[in-house]
Structure 1
Amino acid sequence: MGGWLEGDVALITGGGSGIGRAVALRYLAEGARVAVLDRDTGRPGDLPDGVLTVTGDVRSPEDLHRAVETTVERFGKLDILVPNAGIWDYHRSVTRLTGEELSDAFDELFGINVKGYLLAVEAAWRELAATRGSIVMTLSNASFHTDGGGSLYTASKHACLGLLRQLAYELAPKIRVNGVATGGMRTQLSGPESLGLHHRTLAASFARNEASGEAQPPLIPLYDSSVEPEDFTGPYVLLASRANSATVTGAVIPADGGIAVRGFRTAAGGTGL
């Protein structure tokens, strides 16, 4: 028996590592043919031979059009687009940044996290309309809640939620647009180069206490063990599947470990000002 995506073709931005790579592998297991766009030429190398890898920057319309064209040349069509490439701000508060730092980091983070999504859709919508395909965006718990990052990251992910809803309207009835709001996971997600955070990784948040040796996962209800990228891929399959979500658009599935039921960690974030 074939998988839920048997015969489909998917393009995933930021597919060389983290949740993008995990989705690529899951889509392969579900019967899809997969292409990934990643700006790091070294990272996609450990993907299976059948995966088409394209090097490029999601802030470049030319790179994204080339990725779509290369995918269609190789596989004959495009059914699924996963706008996924992103960076995090490592909870940098506005009170810890200068105006110049904020300006530079805003341009970099919004360029990748928001403009990169919009440009990917612009490059792909014609092919997706031809196949009556779908878009599955990687959103975040920060698309709905505060303190999933700093002011820049939270604003960018709220923007992506609005973008998803508008695109679901603009592209109906031929293209479905949905999203998965993931929580923190053990990945190499980096920060803005403009803030010197491009060498940090989100995986450090799950590091063990050197003194006790005990794990220190975030304070999230279901995060006693499920912090690997592959644990988050199921909703991406569901939303991409024509047979199982043909009537779903403009929807977001939370896959954040239950952040909405966690309760308050602290009363306010600025008590030390």
Structure 2
Amino acid sequence: MAHLLAGKIAIITGGGRGIGAGITKRFAEEGAKIAIVQRNSPPEAMLGEDIVYVKADLSNSSEITSAVETVVQRFGGLDILVNNAGIMFEKTVEQMTEADWDHMMAVNLKAPFLLTKAAMPHFRKRHAASIVNIGSIEGLASNPGHPAYSASKAGVHGFTAAVAVDHGHEGIRCNAIAPGWINSDLSEIYIDSMAESARVRKELLVMHPVGRLGEPRDVGNLAVWLASEESAFVTGQVYVIDGGRTKKLPLPIT
């Protein structure tokens, strides 16, 4: 069976943990050469001849440009960009400072713009390229205390559509994945911090019609398809991957 990403070269931001690690693993299984671009080094066990680490502060435009050039020099080109890295904090509009807002937008929205801009000249040389942006169901709705996060992810969704429209004629596709609750080390820490963590876990399961929480591999599977030629006629779309959570209407508590 042929690998879907054989011979492809990919940048995955934040590819060393959580959802990003799930995408990295699936891309590797499908034959891609991968550069994990993020601020902190990923686990050494993830790296090898075809998976390298390129250090970059994704709130710094010069480091982003340098990282893309480093990847192209290392592997000889670029076919896929996965804008996965992001941050989240809980503050209402009144609690947030202007600096808080600017930092959220710099990492979650400006970095994908700068990475996409830096990648464009290299994509054109390949005549077929794919951008996969990681948005969120919170770009479609919101949890309490997430005005900046929700705004940044809604921006990612809008940016996805605009890039698809502007660059489709060049063979450059752009799609977004909007994950719901995905198991990760950070989500486990968050649940464990709750006073009634066992109850929280049970309620989280009930929220999902499929009866389980998402796994990084679930997102990785979808990212592989969007990055591959199997989805060659798909662009400008936002794919919700949440186990049916946002389709389930809540009933009154009795």
Provide the TM-score with structure 2 as the length reference: 0.88
- Of Structure 1 and Structure 2, the greater helix share is in 2
The secondary structure found in structure 2 opposite 1:172 is helix
Q: Who is 1:252 aligned against?
A: 238
Q: Do the aligned partners of 2:214 and 2:242 also contact (CA within 8 Å) in 1?
A: no
Q: Who is 2:66 aligned against?
A: 66
After TM superposition, list the pairs within 5 Å mapping 1:69-148 onto structure 2: 69-90=69-90, 92-95=91-94, 97=95, 101-131=96-126, 132-147=128-143
Closer, same or farther: CA 35–263 of 1 in aligned 2, 3 Å: same
Q: Say whether 1:176 aligns with 2:173.
A: yes
- Provide, for residues 54-105 of structure 1, a one-character-per-residue CA deviation record: whole Å limited to 9, x for no partner: 0111122222222222211221111100011101123x3335x1xxx33121
Gaps of 5+ in 2: none
After TM superposition, list the pairs within 5 Å mapping 1:210-221 onto structure 2: 213=198, 215-216=201-202, 218=204, 220-221=207-208
Q: What amino acid sits opposite 1:158 in the alignment? A: A
Q: Say whether 1:203 aligns with 2:188.
A: yes
Q: Say whether 1:156 aligns with 2:155.
A: no
The secondary structure found in structure 1 opposite 2:175 is strand
What displacement does 1:116 show? 0.8
Q: Who is 1:11 aligned against?
A: 11
The secondary structure found in structure 2 opposite 1:233 is helix
Q: What amino acid sits opposite 1:187 in the alignment? A: S
Task: For CA contacts below 8 A with separation 6 or more, give which structure has more relative contact order.
Answer: 2
Closer, same or farther: CA 209–144 of 1 in aligned 2, 3 Å: closer
The secondary structure found in structure 1 opposite 2:169 is coil
The secondary structure found in structure 2 opposite 1:93 is coil
Could you tell which deviates more after superposition, 221-230 or 253-262? 221-230
What is the rounded CA distance, in whole Å, between the counterparts of 1:223 and 1:217 in structure 2?
13
Provide the TM-score with structure 1 as the length reference: 0.83
Q: Do the aligned partners of 2:35 and 2:71 also contact (CA within 8 Å) in 1?
A: yes
Closer, same or farther: CA 29–211 of 1 in aligned 2, 3 Å: same
After TM superposition, list the pairs within 5 Å mapping 1:16-35 onto structure 2: 16-35=16-35
Q: What amino acid sits opposite 2:34 in the alignment? A: V
What is the rounded CA distance, in whole Å, between the counterparts of 1:148 and 1:80 in structure 2?
34
2:212 paired residue among 207, 214, 225: 225
Gaps of 5+ in 1: 189-200, 268-273
The secondary structure found in structure 2 opposite 1:128 is helix
- Provide, for residues 213-252 of structure 1, a one-character-per-residue CA deviation record: whole Å limited to 9, x for no partner: 563463531463333312221110111111x111111011
Q: What amino acid sits opposite 1:225 in the alignment? A: R
RMSD of the alignment, in Å? 2.4
What displacement does 1:265 show? 7.5
What displacement does 1:210 show? 7.3
Q: What amino acid sits opposite 2:9 in the alignment? A: V
The secondary structure found in structure 1 opposite 2:120 is helix
